[in-house]
Chains A and B, each alone.
Chain A
Amino acid sequence: MPKVFNWQIGREMDYPYDGARPDHQFAYIFDLNKCIACQTCTIACKTTWTAGKGQETMLWNNVESKPYGYFPLGWDVRILDMLGAQSWDGLKYTGKTLFEAAEAGEAVLGYLPDDLDYANPNVGEDDCFGSELKGAVNGVADGSGGAYFDTVHHSWMFYLPRICNHCTYPACLASCSRKSIYKRKMDGIVLIDQSRCRGYRDCVKGCPYKRPFYNPHTRTSEKCIACYPFVEQGQQPQCVTMCIGKIRLAGYLSLPEKANKNHPMDYLIHDQQVALPLYPQFGLEPNVYYIPPVHVPPQFLTQMFGPRVHKAVETYRNAHKDPKLLAAMMLFGSTERILKEFRVEKNEVVGIDMMNGGEAVRVPFTEPTVVRPFRDEKVGAFRHNIS
C-alpha cells in the first residue's frame, strides 16, 4: 500500500492511493466556545441543499451536544471503540489510523450505522446536563451530575457543529469500489458523482465522521458539497455566513511549511495552532479545524483534538492580550467573501478579498457605544423602552 504524509499525526501512513494534494485546500475553522446550538447552520444547509425527497433525515450539517449527543447515534464512540487504544508520542501518533487498522479485504475500518441511528437527532441529548438537585445543598444544585445519570463526570458540555471535513485522505473515497468519489484538484472539495454512484454505501460505512448519507429515493449516497457554487465565486458556504454565533470562518489553507502569517486560516491553524482537527488519529487529515472549548476536561479534549489541545486552550485564553489573534478571530462571520489576508489598522481589522484583492471587510475591535439622551428634543418626546 502507498505511503502518504499526514502532518496532523506527524508521520507517514498507509492510504490506498498515492498521495496527491490539491492545488489549494478549502478548509473551515469553528470556534466551539461560541456555538449556541441555534441550528441556523443546519437549517441554512437543509433549505439550500437537502429539502428533497429521500433527504428527510439527511443533515450535511448537524450540531450535537457533547459528550452525549451524536448524529448518527454513537458515531464517534463506536469507531473509537473499534479502533482501540490510540497513543501519541509527543506530536507523533503511534497508534493505528483507520486505514492501518482495516480488516483484510476492507479499505478502511468502519461500520454501517443502523437505520434507527438516524431517527432522533438531538432528542434527549441535553437532558443529562447538570440541572438536577442531586447532591444539592439547601436546594442549590452543585452541578455534579445529570438529571438521569448517576455515574457521570462533573457537569460540563459543549456544542459540536459538524459537516464533511473535505479530508486530505478521505475514507469515503478510499472505500468506494466504483471510484464514484473524487477530490477536486482545484480546491480539495470531496464530491460524490451523482451520475455514477450505485448506492453501495461503502462511503457511509467507511467515513468515521458519518458524513455521506444514503438517499432512499434516488438510491444514491449524498454528502456536503462545501457549497462549491459559492466557493467558486469567492464566497463562503451557507453554514458559515448564516451562523448566528459567528463561530465560523472558511477559506484556503496552506501546508504548515508554506503558511502565510497574514492569511487568517494559516495564521490561526498553523501559526497560532489555536484551531485543531477533529480526531486526527483517524488519519484522514480532516479540514474542519476546531477551536477547543476551554472549560472541558483536558483528557476529553486530547482524545478529540490530539496533543496540541492544551497549548490551543492556553492560546485562546490569552487571546485578549494579542491584538493580531483577536483581529483574526473578529473576521468570523463578518463577511460573505473568502479572504486571502488580513491586517490590523489602528483599532480595526481589515480583511482582503481572495478574488479581487480589494477590501472585503473592516471590523472595529470595539464597537462604538452611543448613549442617547432620555429625551429626544427633536420630536419633543421621551425615549421609553417600549419595544
Chain B
Amino acid sequence: MTKPFLSVENLTQTYPDGQGGTLTVFENAGFGVEKGEFVVILGHSGCGKSTIMNILAGLAEPTSGVVKMDGYAVSGPSLDRGVVFQNYSLLPWLSTLKNVTFAVQARFPDWTRAQVTDHARKYLEMVGLSGDVIHRKPSQLSGGMRQRVSIARAFANHPKLLLLDEPFGALDALTRGTIQDELLKIWGGTEQTVFMITHDIDEAILLADRILLMTNGPYARVAESVEITIPRPRTRTGIIEHPNYYAIRNHLVQFLGTRSRELAGRQTDGAPATPETVRIDKTTDAEAADEAPVLRAVNH
C-alpha cells in the first residue's frame, strides 16, 4: 500500500493539566491526506484541532508521533506548508499589497520587484481585492477583506499543503458565504492540497472531499473519515438539492451531537487509531447508506 501524500502517524499530545498531572488531548491519532485533496476536520471546540494543525504546520512539536509529507518527516515550519490563521495574522504596519509581496518575496527570492508585485496583485484580484484597497493597512479593512488578504497570501505562495484554521470563524454568515465561494473558485483552478479546520457542518460539506470527524477530548481521536459524495463544482444552493446532502448532514449532526461525546475519553492502549471510512451515497444504494455507517461506528 502506498503512503498518502500527507501521513499523520501515532500522534499524541499531552499537556500538564495544571494540577501536577497530564492532560492527554489526543493519543495515537493517525490519518492521511492525498495530493490535491480538500480535507476538512470537524470537531467540538477544545478537542485538539488547532493543536493538530500547529503540528502539521511545524509550529509545534507533538509529544510523540510523526507527520510525513511527501515521505519526509515534518520538522519546523516551511514555505511548503502555508497557513491561514483564524485571526488573519496580517502584519498591521504593512499595506495589504505589502502583506502579500512580503510572502511572495520569501517564497521566490530570485524574482524581481515587478514580478513579485504582479504576482501579489494577481492573487489579490482573485479574492476580489483590487484598486485603492490594496494600498490600505489591514486596520482599514473589514474582517472579511482581511481574511481574503490572508487567503491570497497563502495561495500566492503555492504551498504543497495549505492549512486553514477556522478561517471564517470570526465572520458574519453572509461574508462567510461569499468567501467560501471564492475559496472554492481559487481552489478549483489549482491542484492545491488543503487541510482545513471548522466547526461549521455546512461549510464542511460545501468545501470538502472528505471530512475527518474528531471525538471530544480528552483522549480525542479522529474517529471517522466521511467522503462527501456530492459532485463538484458545488454551489451553496446546488448541494442542498443533491440526494446525498441530508444523509451526510444528518450523519455529521448526529456525530457531533451525541457520538462525539459517547466516544470521548476512550484510551487506545497504544493501538494506532485510524479513522473508519464512511461513504454515504444515496444515488446507488438508497437504504443501506442511511443506516449502515452509524451502526458500524457504534459497534467499533
- Decide whether A and B are members of one complex: no
